[in-house]
Structure 1
Amino acid sequence: MRKILSGTLVLLLLVSLLAVHHLASGGSSESNVLLIPLYVYPGCQWDSLIQVKTLYPSISVIIIANPANGPGASEDSTYKEYIQKMRDNGIGVLGYVWTDYGHRDISDVENDIDNWVNWYNVSGIFLDGVNVSSADESYYQTLVDYIHNKSSSFLAVGNPGSYDPDTLDAELNIFDVLVIYDSPGYPESWPSANTSKLGALVYNVSSFNSGDFADLMGEAKYLYVTDGNAPNPWGRLSSYLVDEVAAITGEAKTDYVLRVSSHNTTGYSVVEHYITYNLSAGLYNLTYAITLKNWNSSGAGVDPMYVYVNDSGNADSYAYFTWTNGYNGIALYSCYYDGSTTDCRDLDYNVTDGWHNLTITVNKTEIGFYVDGSSVWNVTSRDITEVLRSGAGSWDKTAQYDLYIDNVTERDGSSTVVGENFDDDYDCYFTEHVGDVAVVPASDVPVPFFGSALAVLLGISLLILTMRRR
């Protein structure tokens, strides 16, 4: 998830992996349902929503699938697989069908409905482009009856995107759910009607406002708000999806981290983070933090973190932490490869004696290594234009390592800091998981960095160092 963070939150991010709990304000209503148009090809966005549902099982979620302004010309095996995955994880799926405000031939609409039912395990149909005119009531009643005849359990949702007070009651009698708002920004007015059948799809809302969202919860049972914008505001999940989930369920929003344990049977535990950060705009820091412990004393090691960078001459270099059986026994090293030579420095940390927090920061001219909040090495690098990849993980087959990965943070040329959270992450980082990998509450991380006076002092020092590089 990309969101603007204050300097205080940066401090928390760098210092601690402990959960920061806060209650979503504005009340809650267990009856509300997230109705999410997910107009993107199945993949990590869909997986992210399944993850949110797993982390907050009490939330009710229905998505709208839309392969090609409808079901498309033929069955798509990927859609089939992911729609079933959604259903298996307790998420309803509606098939999108365009009606052209009552102008589309009803037999064509019914053919789309047939294809949705025959090809995919949907739980209902979403009729878009609904006309609010009374002249088309019989048209839509015929379609809703057609849907219900397919299955009495199917949900028939109509989306006029607005409403006419004179015809609203009649439309509510036709559809199971009626989306009467589908526009940018929160609605300025709302009718006095049966809230349990009303829906609202709100886009182009840059940040989560608990009061506005709570008001909408009281007006529409089916709702969704996103910071997505035209031309396809539904092309990714809202960056504050979990805030909405917390508000609806009344649960505390929990910070999550990624836990990776070495695999002990069939292969390696691997987590790869493939992303490109453009550093050409100026000062731009990337912070990547993990917490780890190695119980192994036999000499086997692991490289827990890699950051690959590209310079203005289009040459790759990389920085990484490793522990291995070196000159002083099993020790932690920081290493930098400049394109021709690898320089590894013994950091004099015994990684068998407890948990450690590792961080690598990158800006245009410098790569910094930090252990437990203390700077251990700063490398003056060539003009860095891109961070090509941040990777974590490649373990041997003995179950002896646990690694916890906190949020990835970035700071761009305007000193804006954005974070990537595993619980509500729309950029789908860390999507390649092999072995024992799970998202867990940050409170499960064994090192209580936050709350320790020493840790806070170390974090403040790190923050000051970071600010000096701006």
Structure 2
Amino acid sequence: MVTLTPDGPQLAAPFYLHPAEHPTAWEFLRQGSLGLAFAVVNVASGPGPEGDPYYTEALRPGIRTPLLGYVNTGYGQRDADAVRRDAATWRERYGVSGVMLDCVSTDAPSTTLELIGALRADGATKVALNPGAPCAPEVVAAADVTCVSECAWSTYAGLAWPDRPAAGPTWHLVHGVPLADITAARDVAARRGAAFVWVTDATLPNPYARLPEAWP
């Protein structure tokens, strides 16, 4: 299993595993035995146009892992109302009240701040962001958590990293990590101040469609 020291980053996963294909992993998620601080769930690049009965069952009340629903912002190209409708669908259809905004633009901080405020006013209990790169400090401060790095281990290991602390909790996603380097990748994330981390040996196009091979 991927393990962390008590003072290191907490595990937080993009959990893009379909319940019908990975029932055991989903049962672990329900019981909280994966030790995740939170997991992002994703039906079909969001809540999907219609309900998925497998997700309805998997996300029934009583799940012990905190959840965020995936919402794609299209790097600022999606209309804010469409983003808000997706967030509302997560709440109303699946009972997931937190959201993770993916593909967040780093070029329009004021627009992102307005969207965070609107989502909170609509009832979002937590708002996470994934620009996949550093973004404006005021945006990081406004979100509950921000993914400031998402890339392959071959890139992540060589990144230059600022010494100054982030304005809020950050999350690092590292894929394509050889199993022998899993601990090293975690340690790099800890040194870079990540509050949350996910490291996996899985690779593109979807490194989050399964648990890491290191998991029991």
TM-score band w.r.t. shorter chain: 0.7 to 0.9
1:331-352 superposed Cα distances (whole Å, 9 cap, x missing partner): xxxxxxxxxxxxxxxxxxxxxx
CA shift for structure 1 position 197: 0.8
Q: 1:69 is matched with which residue?
A: 45
CA shift for structure 1 position 109: 1.0
Q: 1:149 is matched with which residue?
A: 121
Q: Do structure 1's residue 79 and structure 2's residue 25 form an aligned pair?
A: no
Give aligned pairs, total: 210
Letter in 2 for 1:96: Y
Letter in 2 for 1:112: D
Q: How does 1:318-467 map to 2 (within 5 A)?
A: 424=216
* Whole-angstrom distance in 2 between the partners of 1:147 and 1:140: 11
Q: Do structure 1's residue 239 and structure 2's residue 175 form an aligned pair?
A: no
CA shift for structure 1 position 215: 2.9
Q: 1:368 is matched with which residue?
A: none
Q: 2:68 is matched with which residue?
A: 94
Q: 1:467 is matched with which residue?
A: none
CA shift for structure 1 position 146: 2.4
CA shift for structure 1 position 196: 5.5
Identity, in percent, stands at: 26
Q: 1:34 is matched with which residue?
A: 11
Question: In structure 1, the residue corresponding to 2:5 is in which secondary structure?
Answer: coil
Q: With structure 2 as the length reference, what TM-score do the two structures score?
A: 0.84
> Which is greater in Rg?
1
* Whole-angstrom distance in 1 between the partners of 2:65 and 2:32: 13
Q: Do the aligned partners of residues 176 and 163 (structure 1) sit closer, same or farther apart at CA in structure 2, a change above 3 Å counting? A: same
**2:72 and 2:103 in contact (8 A); partners too:** yes
Q: Which runs of 4 or more aligned residues in structure 1 lie more than 4 Å from their structure 2 counterparts after TM superposition?
A: 52-57
* Whole-angstrom distance in 1 between the partners of 2:48 and 2:33: 32
Query: Unaligned 5+ residue runs, structure 2?
Result: none
* Whole-angstrom distance in 1 between the partners of 2:5 and 2:145: 21
* Whole-angstrom distance in 1 between the partners of 2:194 and 2:59: 25
Larger strand proportion, structure 1 or 2? 1
Q: Do the aligned partners of residues 46 and 161 (structure 1) sit closer, same or farther apart at CA in structure 2, a change above 3 Å counting? A: farther
Q: Do the aligned partners of residues 213 and 111 (structure 1) sit closer, same or farther apart at CA in structure 2, a change above 3 Å counting? A: same
Q: Do structure 1's residue 47 and structure 2's residue 18 form an aligned pair?
A: no
Q: 1:366 is matched with which residue?
A: none
Q: 1:137 is matched with which residue?
A: 109
1:152-180 superposed Cα distances (whole Å, 9 cap, x missing partner): 6x22011010125xx2x122122111101
CA shift for structure 1 position 214: 2.3
CA shift for structure 1 position 206: 1.9
Q: 2:140 is matched with which residue?
A: 172
Query: Unaligned 5+ residue runs, structure 1?
Result: 2-22, 242-423, 425-470
- CA RMSD, 1 decimal: 2.7
* Whole-angstrom distance in 2 between the partners of 1:79 and 1:53: 12
**1:144 and 1:175 in contact (8 A); partners too:** yes
Q: How does 1:285-304 map to 2 (within 5 A)?
A: none
CA shift for structure 1 position 181: 0.8
CA shift for structure 1 position 137: 1.9
Question: In structure 1, the residue corresponding to 2:179 is in which secondary structure?
Answer: coil
**2:140 and 2:167 in contact (8 A); partners too:** no
* Whole-angstrom distance in 2 between the partners of 1:53 and 1:223: 20
**1:32 and 1:60 in contact (8 A); partners too:** no
Letter in 1 for 2:126: L
